[in-house]
Structure 1
Amino acid sequence: MAENSKKMSVTQLTIITAVNMMGSGIVMLPSKLASVGTMSILSWLVTLTGALCLAYGFARCGMFSKNTKEGMGGYAEYAFGKDGNFMANFTYALSLVIANVAIAVSAVGYGSVLLNIKLSPIQTCLWTIVMVVITTLANFGGPSITGKIGSVTVWGVIIPVVFISIFGWFWFHGHLYASAWNVHNISFGKGIASSIPITLWSFLGLESAAANSDAVENPQKNVPIAVLVGTIAAGVIYILSTNVMQGIVPNAAIAKSNAPFGLAFATMLGPVWGKICMALMTIACIGSLLGWQFTVAEVFRSSAVAGYFPKVFNKVSKLGAPIAGMIILMIVQILLSLMTISPDLNAQFNNLVNLAVVTNLVPYVLSMAAVKVIQIDAGLKAGDRGYSMTNFITVVAGIYSLYSMYACGNLALALGALVAFAGWTIYGLISHKFDYKPM
């Protein structure tokens, strides 16, 4: 009884799941969606359906897998062996590196509007690099402070987004929303496809929701409930906040803005509140980036422990920080910042998001393909409760993931394919440690 009292309730896990997804991914979202028009709400519905299927699949993985501590790599290993484990870890780790640069770009965008500074492409790149360097160096002191900062700064995103979702309707104009339905007169299919990557970007991280299965009461019942309800809650807030904004601010203004939420608050409540919103979201992005810098270094460190990555990533300081790995990852992020320089900050952000989504979807596809094997290994069979339904849902989740890869565009797909082939090449060089058996 005492042990149970220390565990989370389904309500607590649901809140944690929703809050984990509602990080800095949404801050630049309205600008991209405005370039499509309000018909992008159709993309939200498709993405929410796909995200729910993925969330349910990961919930089942968390309940029945014996490799939960290895994350998506542990799930993939059931169906694809050590090769699948390596590829899931490799692509996921790289997607986080790319996502960090996108978060840094978001912080620079909001910060520049907050300070009323017009940045050239080179200046945007340099300030993005400054963000990457500062947040990396700040993590040299270890994880104790990083987590506390992130748990506070994330509210700099959540509060404005929830506020506009609930109260923004008082400033909403239906004619403004309707006039922005299809601003470029494109087909429904093209409109949905072009919005899928950026809407999915806001849900990335849903796979982590199943990681708390050991810390919740009655996990077999409560984990799926928390993951699905948390995903729905985040999705509803995303849909409400980005769509109500289209009825408050003219579409063209949102599409060009480097700080769309700040623009919306300035329109609703005046310039001062717009500045406050921008300041909160800039701080939230920096806090989020601070946390993700440590997280990505930890992902590389754990993969190095497993023998997938070079041992240099496993070196830890007295304070518990993998400093050598952080420095290497910082250099990679600086190179990415230089490679993605664009005349338009939104374009640079979109390029990074598309590539991050493609590489993040690789472990999603591998994990969903392994769910059937995970269930069989756990002793489930046809006729058992949830077995066939789970298999169906995860097939839908896999198809949605593949469609989302396609929607990211040719460039992101080509670069993602190069990443995957590079991964197999690297695995070939280290595979003797795992699967190689002499004939």
Structure 2
Amino acid sequence: MTTETRPFGFWTATALIMGGMIGSGIFLLPVAIAPYGWIGVVAWIVSILGVLAIGYAVAAMARLMPEATGSIAVTGAVLGPLAGVLVGWSYWISCWTAIAAIAGAAISYLSVFVPWLGATPLNGALATVALIWLLTLTNLAGTKLAGQVQVATTILKLVPLIVVVLIVIWLWGSGRGSAPPWPGTGPGYAGLTAAITLTLFPLIGFEAAGCVAERVQDPGRNIMRATVLGIALTGLLYILVSSGMAFALPAEQVAASPAPFALFVETFVGRGAGLFVAAFAAIAAVGCLNGWVLIQGEVPLGMGRAGLLPEWFAVVNARDVSVRMQLVSSGLASLLVFSTASRSLSGAFQFAALLTTCAALWLYAAISLAALVRRVAAMPAALGLGFSVWAMWGAGVEASAWGFALMLTGWPLYWWAKRAPTVGTAFERDGLI
């Protein structure tokens, strides 16, 4: 393939991973983690190690099968077409539910400058849907443009994180910082599982390069490098930022704030600096949204090209973009936003985030299992599988049941694809089975 069909080099792939991770989650999560004290720090470390293990398995399988269209196609090739369809469908669901959550977070930070956006739940819903479709139109122009937008916004979104890290360093250097007692006054070790579930959502997106492997140049090499580097850098920033904010501000002070990062900076530096950070936090969420809009079209496209879904899903325009699935995905994300219009922006975010995490976990478990079956990266794959099961349990019965039920909605598509004469030929042609 040429650079037109494989436009993502190492740095673009890394930006896709970091851009997909750094967004709404980290900018709204520190307040939820604050009551856990040091247990929250432990939860971050465990979650980062867990996604590193899964990410390594994803990259190892991409290296083993560089001709595959992505991680979902690899899963289908190893575990069977039915498993590929179900986990792929579940992951696609996690994409457009994530889009609803991330777009809402972006509007939440923009409401600092335009209060009308958050004045009523309906205002927030309308603005959220408008932002979703703006980024959808950007992606319809082609994956190359979407990749360029991702690189630019990833660089810009690091600004608020770096500002917070510098403030944390200044607080500790000046003697104004203080750490809570170990393990803290919160739920203690008993709260670790719940804290891990909370810290997982901001890390979702680490698998992005593996899921769009057919767009990455030299995927056997670049996906591994981009995945490990992207997770390591993002994880380090997350620990410094979340822990610093949790230790410096009482949770009750920021509970009512739509922009906790801005409040943190404003508290220690001033109103102007707080507004500056709020602007870049909004950019960060927009960049994260752009990456997920790209992936929401690429996931079903890759499944269609691999023979896991009917050919209808593999139709592209002259720019090699899956217009049909972009429109369907953004339409569903918009419906989800409007269905939660009676909630506040933060309430809608939490609902969509819960759906996203539970739906994505099925792919993480499946790709780890596939690596174990092929005896590739066995230790990371075993750790990744265990972590995925632990996170499902930590999400609770209700959330896990929702994720399982949504995954099963893809079952009719498997039978539709099975009736088509081309099913399986993509695997056979590419040597995957």
- TM-score category by the smaller chain? 0.7 to 0.9
Residue 227 of structure 1: CA displacement? 4.1
Partner of 2:91 in structure 1?
92
Residue 321 of structure 1: CA displacement? 3.9
Contact 2:372 2:382 (8 Å CA) reproduced: no
CA distance in 1, matches of 2:124, 2:93: 22
Partner of 1:171 in structure 2?
171
Aligned counterparts, 1:276-287, within 5 A: 276-287=276-287
TM-score, length-normalised on structure 1? 0.81
CA distance in 1, matches of 2:9, 2:407: 39
Aligned counterparts, 1:290-305, within 5 A: 290-305=290-305
Partner of 1:105 in structure 2?
104
In the alignment, is residue 402 of structure 1 matched against residue 389 of structure 2?
Answer: yes
**Which digits, 9 at most, give the CA deviation of each residue in 1:271-304, with x for residues without a partner?**
1111111111212322332343233123223333
Residue 330 of structure 1: CA displacement? 2.1
Contact 1:105 1:128 (8 Å CA) reproduced: yes
Equivalent residue letter for 1:340: T
CA distance in 2, matches of 1:171, 1:115: 31
List structure 1 segments (4+ residues) > 6 angstroms apart after TM superposition: 12-15, 173-176
**Which digits, 9 at most, give the CA deviation of each residue in 1:149-199, with x for residues without a partner?**
22112223212213322442213577765289756x43522x222222331
In the alignment, is residue 391 of structure 1 matched against residue 378 of structure 2?
Answer: yes
In the alignment, is residue 197 of structure 1 matched against residue 197 of structure 2?
Answer: yes
Number of matched residues? 409
Contact 2:392 2:400 (8 Å CA) reproduced: yes
Residue 137 of structure 1: CA displacement? 3.2
Identity of aligned residues (%): 23
CA distance in 2, matches of 1:302, 1:243: 38
3-state SS in 2 of match to 1:347: helix
3-state SS in 1 of match to 2:151: helix
**Which digits, 9 at most, give the CA deviation of each residue in 1:212-264, with x for residues without a partner?**
99638x94xx9767644542332121011111112333221233322111111
Contact 1:143 1:321 (8 Å CA) reproduced: yes
C-alpha change, 1:151 and 1:40, in structure 2 (3 Å) is same
CA RMSD of the aligned region, Å?
Answer: 3.3
Contact 2:34 2:247 (8 Å CA) reproduced: no
CA distance in 2, matches of 1:223, 1:72: 11
Partner of 1:56 in structure 2?
56
Unaligned runs of 5+ in 2: 1-7, 426-433
Equivalent residue letter for 1:371: A
CA distance in 1, matches of 2:424, 2:154: 42
Residue 44 of structure 1: CA displacement? 0.8
Contact 2:69 2:305 (8 Å CA) reproduced: no
Contact 1:153 1:284 (8 Å CA) reproduced: yes
Equivalent residue letter for 1:427: Y
Contact 1:300 1:309 (8 Å CA) reproduced: yes
3-state SS in 2 of match to 1:284: helix
Equivalent residue letter for 2:69: E
3-state SS in 2 of match to 1:41: helix
Residue 311 of structure 1: CA displacement? 4.8
CA distance in 1, matches of 2:278, 2:177: 27
**Which digits, 9 at most, give the CA deviation of each residue in 1:382-417, with x for residues without a partner?**
xxxxx6xx3233122101101112222333212111
Aligned counterparts, 1:70-81, within 5 A: 70-81=69-80
Unaligned runs of 5+ in 1: 1-7, 376-386
Residue 332 of structure 1: CA displacement? 0.7
In the alignment, is residue 83 of structure 1 matched against residue 82 of structure 2?
Answer: yes
TM-score, length-normalised on structure 2? 0.83
3-state SS in 1 of match to 2:180: helix
